[in-house]
Copies of this chain bind each other. A is one copy, B any other.
Amino acid sequence: MPRNPVLSASRIRTTALDIIDRDGLDGLSMRKLAAELGVRAASLYGHVSTKDDLLHEVAGEILEKVDVSGFAEGDWRHGLTMCARSYRAALAQHPNIVPFLAYGPAHRDASLRRLDVVHGALVSAGWTRREATMIAASLMYLVFGAALSSFSSGFSEDQALYRDRYPNLDKAHLLPSVARELDHDSFELALGAFVAGLAARAPVPPAPTGSAG
């Protein structure tokens, strides 16, 4: 090596994600990223092929944290719930990159591997393949919708702004200070209601151990 390299692919990814978390997706530029790394923009291209590629790598790193092991225990309701929670938790840690993550989830390996597990588990539980696909899709809707259109970054601190125009919304629980908790509870409500509604039309379980009628 000429001198100890200042850059590495992983340090670039980490710093890029830091900037995204701090300044938003639009706040990330190759020049700013380079500056933050003590380097000029051109130097990044020795480690990263493209900005878009860098974003995909960062995205992949985030998605790797999604845990679908909840399906191993055999109960699809539990698996679905755990997977959704894990997915949302992973996205909620980096809300600014969610719009990028959401575009074409089926193009990312980390996403497809997890989808594969979910799909397989649902089919094993007795759902048809088409149903399994639709359930997995529905779960994505919930998770990405919750991560994206979250209330946390929605409402103004100034309650009076809403009071006059939207009579039904003049409520203290719209304040950002409690919005985070509200987001969490809303997601749990949506997830719980969805899984319960799904269970009501569930297929006969394939009786994994005994044959209790």
Question: What are the residues of chain B within 8 A of A145 when measuring CB–CB?
Answer: 140-146, 148
**A198 sits at the interface (CB 8 A):** yes
Choose the segment among A7-15, A27-35, A107-115, A203-211 that binds chain B (4+ C-beta atoms closer than 8 Å). Answer: A107-115
Q: Determine whether A72 belongs to the interface, using a CB cutoff of 8 Å to chain B.
A: no
A201 at the interface (CB under 8 A from B): yes
Q: Which residues of B contact A39 (CB under 8 A)?
A: none
The listed residue with most B CB atoms (<10 A of its CB), out of A131, A183, A200, is A200
A interface, by DSSP: helix, strand, loop or mixed? helix
Contact B134 A168 (CB under 8 A): no
* Number of copies of this kind of chain in the complex: 2
B119 near A168 (CB under 8 angstroms)?
yes
- CB pair B115 A169 closer than 8 Å: yes
For A117, the chain B residues whose CB sits under 8 A away are: 168
A84 smallest CB distance to B (angstroms): 11
Q: Which chain B residue has the least Cβ–Cβ distance from A123?
A: B168
Q: A178 — nearest CB in chain B belongs to which residue? A: B130
Residues of B with C-beta under 8 A to A167 = 116, 120
Give complex CA distance A186, B115 in Å: 15
On whether A149 and B140 interact (CB within 8 A), knowing A123-B168, A134-B186, A174-B133, the answer reads: yes
Would you call A76 an interface residue if the criterion is a C-beta within 8 Å of the partner chain's C-beta atoms? no
Query: Quick one: given A141-B145, A141-B187, A190-B142, are A112 and B153 in contact (CB under 8 Å)?
Result: no
**8 residue pairs from A and B, CB less than 8 Å apart:** A102-B148, A109-B165, A129-B173, A130-B182, A145-B145, A190-B194, A193-B200, A196-B196
Nearest first, the 8 A-B pairs at minimum CB distance are A145-B145, A193-B197, A106-B154, A141-B145, A197-B197, A138-B190, A196-B197, A137-B186
